[in-house]
A and B are shown apart, each in its own frame.
Chain A
Amino acid sequence: MQIEPRENISPWRVIFAPIAAIIIAFILCAFLIAWTGEPILESYGYLFKGAFGSRFALSETLNRATPLIFTGLAAAVAFRAKFWNIGAEGQLYFGALAATILGTGAITLPPLLMIPFLFVAGAVAGGLALLGPVFLKTTLKVDEVVTTLLLNFVILLFVNFLLEGPLKDPMSLGWPQAASIIDEGVLPELMARTRLHIGFAIALGASIFIWALMRYTIWGYEIRAVGANPNAAKFSGISINKTVFLVAMLSGGLAGMAGITETAGTKGYLTLDLSPGFGYSGIAVAMLANLNPLGVVISAVFLAGIYVGADSMSRAVNIPTYIADVLVALSVLSVLVSLLFVQFRVRWR
């Protein structure tokens, strides 16, 4: 077997390869469903209906997609520069902490200012959560994969401590949860009588912004160059450390914003189960999108659809909801392989 680069990369292949890969993931998962004894097509039918089948389902899916777009962008930006930030989960909680500390009465502004203020605060907090790893990486070359991963656990324990101590809402009847975000800070509904809030529109804006940044600005150029070939980037006068730092702040900031959409939007207050692993799923989102910021929107909606749909599927037929995670993981791996065939051709002999 020999792998050779293709001379021309056909745009059709770029589009169809991931679609084919996802179909393969669904086929592989069908074996698991078959094993549970439930009808395959019918089960998938429940999944799609649960995800996109009604106005309510769609609103739930888009609501679920909102934080995933942010964490997906966080991973996409970082991975593009080969800065392996696996700590979006922790950064999300730091953002949520900022919302709780500043948005539950400490500061009151009119909504038009309060909401942007919370997003900025969340972004700053998310960036702060990455400060340690990026500092260790640029000064001591400490591997950021491990530091960001382990910080997730530390941050979650820290949030746990705050929720049982200083930040505990006295009105919560013993539950470890923080006080509610004040009304001025709550993200308004985007679709009447649903949970879908304006955070989704902001997420769309963020992905267009990041896309333009990567493509049209010197910063984006530097990020891409540092990721693809740090030696050449350094040779042409780009500061690697400065670029990695910039990437870290962008990435952490985006993940922090996901904390804002959840505390100030979906939930209204901070709890320990604010995020069912949005930080980790964001990595899958970014990979499915091949790190393209616009693609992140599509893959986040896709992933959210699977999670929301799997919930209603498991209510209708007897299939554990973990099928959603399996489906996502298989999609990630098969898309990864499919992208290889976009750029390379395999010759068997």
Chain B
Amino acid sequence: MDWVELFISAGFWAATLRIAAPLIFGTIGELICERAGVLNLGIEGIMTMGAMAGWMWVFQGGSLWGAVLFAAMVGGMFGLLHAILTVHLGLSQHVSGIGITLLASSLSYFLFRMLLPNTTTPPKITSFQPLDIPFLSDLRFFGEAFFSHTALTYLALAIIPIAIYLLYRTPIGLATRMAGENPVALEAQGINVLMIRTGAVIVGSAMMAIGGAYITISAFDAFFFDMINGRGWICIALVIFASWKPGRALFGALLFAGLDAFQVRAQQLAGGDIPYQFFLMLPYLLSIGAMIIISKRMQYPQALLVPFRRGDRI
């Protein structure tokens, strides 16, 4: 009966949302980049940088929303670097992305050590607190599960419909999707492909960084080394699982987060019969499993990984 209780406990659902939120930011960020035709393997490093930058902003006395903006700005700058290398210079998106991850994560650790040379236990900040929503927060079960979250969590959920609207209902969204399907068509209609792709990579990277910051200023209140721990790579798997559609990305992130929340609780329920490492493996194995399931009917953007130079093939 313990297992049933697990699923009807409000704590489980609350944890699911908390785990899903940074993944939603990261996945939508990556999705925007890839929809414009640019794979961004810098995500792991950019999330690390976002986590560090956001936390540091608050630690140095800045406001929480200021931290979100600051993280987004720093993330956007790494996005710009990736865009210059891959979009403007046409270098390998794989190689540049890995380079960005190396740079962003090492720089985060370096700066963290520089600014806090002599700390052994990571200092804490006052992070985003749960919003008290009149009436809703007081509901039994639902109040705790769904209406006791921080503003940043709700922002993560709000991002999905915004992304859907922008991608499918506005001219800029159409141009972004076209940049990933057939950049030549975009160029032929007088729209600057390089500009659209650059913009998409910057915006996407900014969202990844917010996802990283969520972890240090909303989910926790401190910055640790190796804190991102592969979440960026999981976002890339989720984009594939979502077949490059934002709605499915939400579904994928929630499914994944649910399993992660389950795994933590199942560990306690199993009470040591199964070594804890196997539970910790579950999220990674699930991501691989999700990619296998989707592989048969994958419809990726036609111009993903394809560099564009003006005058090409026209």
Chain A residues packing against B (C-beta within 8 Å): 1-3, 32, 35-36, 79, 84, 86, 136, 140-143, 145-147, 149-154, 157-158, 160-161, 164-165, 280, 283-284, 287, 318, 320, 322-323, 325-326, 328-330, 332-333, 336-337, 340
Q: Is B247 positioned at the interface, with any CB of A under 8 Å from its CB? A: no
Candidate in A3, A152, A326 with the most chain B CB atoms within 10 angstroms? A326
Q: Is B296 positioned at the interface, with any CB of A under 8 Å from its CB? A: yes
Majority secondary structure, B binding face: helix
Q: Is the CB of A325 within 8 A of B110?
A: yes
CB contacts (< 8 Å) of B285 on chain A: these are: 150, 154
CB contacts (< 8 Å) of B117 on chain A: these are: 318, 320
Q: Is B292 positioned at the interface, with any CB of A under 8 Å from its CB? A: yes
Instruction: Identify B275's interface contact among A36, A165, A320, A326, CB under 8 A.
Output: A165
CB contacts (< 8 Å) of A36 on chain B: these are: 114
Candidate in A36, A152, A154, A330 with the most chain B CB atoms within 10 angstroms? A154
Q: Is the CB of B99 within 8 A of A336?
A: yes
A241: min CB distance to chain B, Å:
15
CB contacts (< 8 Å) of B224 on chain A: these are: none
Instruction: Identify B288's interface contact among A35, A147, A280, A318, CB under 8 A.
Output: A147
Q: Is the CB of B109 within 8 A of A322?
A: yes
Query: Would you list the 9 A-B pairs with minimal beta carbon distance, nearest first?
Result: A325-B106, A329-B103, A320-B113, A329-B102, A322-B110, A161-B277, A140-B295, A157-B277, A322-B109
Chain B residues packing against A (C-beta within 8 Å): 41, 81, 85, 88-92, 94-96, 98-100, 102-103, 105-107, 109-110, 113-114, 117, 229-230, 233-234, 236-237, 240, 275, 277-278, 280-281, 284-285, 287-288, 291-292, 295-296, 298, 309-310
A8: min CB distance to chain B, Å:
21
Report 6 cross-chain contacts, Cβ distance below 8 Å, ordered by A residue. Answer: A136-B288, A140-B292, A146-B240, A150-B230, A154-B281, A157-B277
Using a Cβ cutoff of 8 Å, how many contacts connect chains A and B?
Answer: 129
Q: Is the CB of A149 within 8 A of B110?
A: no
Instruction: Identify B106's interface contact among A84, A150, A328, CB under 8 A.
Output: A328
Q: Is the CB of B99 within 8 A of A157?
A: no
Q: Is the CB of B277 within 8 A of A333?
A: no
* Residue of A whose beta carbon sits closest to that of B298: A141
Q: Is the CB of B102 within 8 A of A146?
A: no
CB contacts (< 8 Å) of B103 on chain A: these are: 326, 329-330, 332-333
Q: Is the CB of B309 within 8 A of A3?
A: yes
A148: min CB distance to chain B, Å:
10
